[in-house]
Amino acid sequence: MNADERFEELSQEMLNRFMEKNPGFATFLGLHEPYDYVLPDGSAERLFDNLRLLEEWIQRLSKTVKKEELNEENRVDWEVLEKALEMDRFSMHERRMFELDPDAVDTIGGLVFIMFTRIMLRWRSGLAL
């Protein structure tokens, strides 16, 4: 397996784990099954779990893939991951946005609304729930 294949395989695994922890984000991206009917964890701990997942992702990439062997697209993706980690660390440890966001409950409520809307649409169209 070449570097690009290892990068893509690991990235797919980590993305799947991220979507499991963040079903609302998966639904936002249009990945409806099986995420539409899963309530998100609204805790700050989930945000720290996301940060740890991103740290793990980059560590595993560093151990299994040589960045210089990647094609340009995957090198850029790796750099985006590194910048995302840097931004998330700042957001969680310095800025602490999870403590400052007064709309957090509305965000969760919006996701619940999306779930109920989808259930009602399926019910109205006669599809099995």
Phi-psi region of 122 (alpha: psi -120 to 50; beta: other; left: phi over 0): alpha
Number of domains composing the chain: 1
Residue 129 lies in a domain: no
CA 8 to chain centre: 16
| Residue at 64 is within a domain | yes
Domain range for 10 is 3-124
pTM, full prediction: 0.71
Longest Cα separation, the chain: 53
Residue with tokens 């009917």: 37
- How many other C-beta atoms can be found within 10 angstroms of the C-beta atom of residue 114? 15
Does residue 41 contact residue 91 with C-beta atoms inside 8 Å?
A: no
pLDDT in single tens digits along all 129 residues of the chain: 899 999 999 988 988 898 888 888 787 777 778 877 777 777 788 888 989 999 999 999 999 999 999 999 889 989 988 998 898 899 888 888 777 765 554 455 555 555 555 555 555 666 544
Residue 32 inside a domain? The answer is: yes
Buried (b) or exposed (e) across 103-113, using 16+ Cβ within 10 A?
eeeeeeeebee
Tokens of 9: 């395989």
Name the DSSP class of 34: T
Query: For 14, phi and psi rounded to 5 degrees?
Result: -70, -40
